[in-house]
Amino acid sequence: MNRYEGRRVLVTGGGSGIGQATVLRVLAEGGRVVAADISEAGLADTVDKAGEAASRLGTVTVDVADEASVRAAVAGAVSTLGGLDALVNAAGILRSSHTHETSLESFNRVLQVNLVGTFLVIREAIPALLEGTEPAVVNFSSTSATFAHPYMAGYAASKGGIQSMTHALAAEYSKRGLRFTAVQPGSVSSGMTDASGASGQSAGPGLPEDADMSLFAKLSPALGQGFAAPETVASVVAMLASEDGRFITGTEIRVDGGTHY
């Protein structure tokens, strides 16, 4: 299946986790990709895993929370690809703590990377996307945007903002042919959830030592298969950003194994 043959894609957070899995999936389907990440080591790992497909893979370092960095990275990606047909905003961080012990700096950092970072990349990419073929943007929300995930108020707020922003953008650009969708991963093993990712923008959750784990009783996948691999979400992202998703916009798709019925 070569849904991405001739298609040009920018993936942020491409150095680990679901972002990396998405890069590899698009490459496997014949696409040309620029992987963007704050971690050079993470990007090197992605290139290594791409194997022979690395000839269709470019990389760029970016701090999505920094406006100048985003502007330069998106411009570089568009130049490398010769245009842009799809954007996947997978870059993000997760911080966990008791809310009454959360510093304003920590709360703002999560919002700045996740919500503001997604906005900045989209803003800079829109001009190129409007000139692309079947253009599409896939943002990363989370099941925490809709369902209670304890100790993650800032993360939930950022992902809820991304979800609402996705709807607004879908309406604004619908008549110009640019689609916006979001995925809501849940119960997925990635750099965020297991703290093993190479990317500095995919740090582990670090739950409080005295966290009440009984509060997570409702967060187990109903399918009974345990946490899913990043590739599970990447396959959904690949569909949404391809022509197969051409009649889908202004909505989110939950990928959580039935954790939240």
Identify whether 151 is a catalytic site residue: no
Query: What is the rounded distance in angstroms from the CA atom of residue 61 to the CA atom of residue 43?
Result: 8
Query: What is the rounded distance in angstroms from the CA atom of residue 88 to the CA atom of residue 11?
Result: 5
- Amino acid at position 25, single letter: R
CA nearest to 54, candidates 78, 32, 87: 32
- The one catalytic residue among 4, 151, 155, 173: 155
Residue 115: partners with Cβ closer than 8 Å, 6 or more residues away: 157, 158, 161, 162, 165
What's the token pair of residue 21? 């899995």
Residue 112: partners with Cβ closer than 8 Å, 6 or more residues away: 65
The residue written with tokens 């992902």 in the block is: 159
Helix, strand or coil for residue 49? Answer: helix
Catalytic residue annotation: 155
